[in-house]
Amino acid sequence: MTLIMGVLNVTPDSFSDGGLWLEPEAAVEHGLQLVAEGADIIDVGGESTRPGALYVAPEEERARVVPVIAELASRGITVSVDTMNAATARAAAEAGAAIINDVSGGLADETMPDAVLETGLQYVVMHWRGRLDAADSKAVYEHTVAEVRRELSQRVTRLLQHGIDPDRLILDPGIGFSKNARHNWQVLAGLPEIERLGFPVLIGASRKRFLGALLPEGAPAVDRDAPTAVVSALAAQAGAWAVRVHDVPSTRIAIDVVRAWQAGRDD
């Protein structure tokens, strides 16, 4: 059944929760809370990827995430590190991380494939066309799903040629990255096409701007948790390996509903 990846941003400037968990003790406490609420994986990130986010030096990124990863992993929690930096990925692996979640798919740091190969961790390869900008200048598609699928396939081919075990790869179609609202909905509706590449698929739509468009103007980001839960349920129904979310309880309930629905159909 679809896993829940709980978001733990150890950053001052993430778009919906920046600064809340910047101190290691607060971050660990929140990670434990996410697990208690039903998260299967905790995704720890030390650099925001929102448009206009400040660059974080690798040393600062490691200082933010490694203590948190080490403490959570020591308690038997499955942890992923949300990073585009190979040195951070290596440090996270040494601290006990099980997954490298790289929104650039190895394009931001050319040494990342080496780190994946050396650590042997699972590796999330996201569809990425470069760092986000306010104008979404890279959000241009003629056939959105086909292009996302092709670009992901090309990236996978390069990683396999590098010697990375295909069983370690997980794909993420990059909801909200170089995509406008229409593109995001097209990718979500086309999830089966992405899955036909033959790899587990992670969906990260939580609290993103395109969901806010469904709400009254000016609604805060936390109000996007309800539509996020619906997306989680539909993604689970479509066979997603995992969903990455800020609010675990609503998504846990949504996925439990899908599980009960499917069990009723199978009886």
Asked if 50 is an active-site residue, the reply is no
d(CA 204, CA 223): 16
Q: Do you know the residue count of the chain?
A: 267
Q: How many helices (H) and strands (E) does the chain have?
A: 10, 8
Give 118's Cβ-side CA count (13 Å radius).
Answer: 13
Q: Which of 129, 179, 244, 252 is flagged as catalytic?
A: 244
d(CA 255, CA 85): 32
d(CA 139, CA 123): 25
Cβ-based neighbours of 162, under 8 Å, separated by 6 or more: 113, 114, 117
d(CA 166, CA 159): 9
Cβ-based neighbours of 230, under 8 Å, separated by 6 or more: 254
Maximum Cα–Cα distance for the chain, whole Å?
Answer: 54
Do residues 82 and 56 make contact, with C-beta atoms less than 8 angstroms apart? no
Q: Which of 129, 155, 179, 208 is flagged as catalytic?
A: 208
Asked if 244 is an active-site residue, the reply is yes
Task: Give me the active site residues, please.
Answer: 208, 244
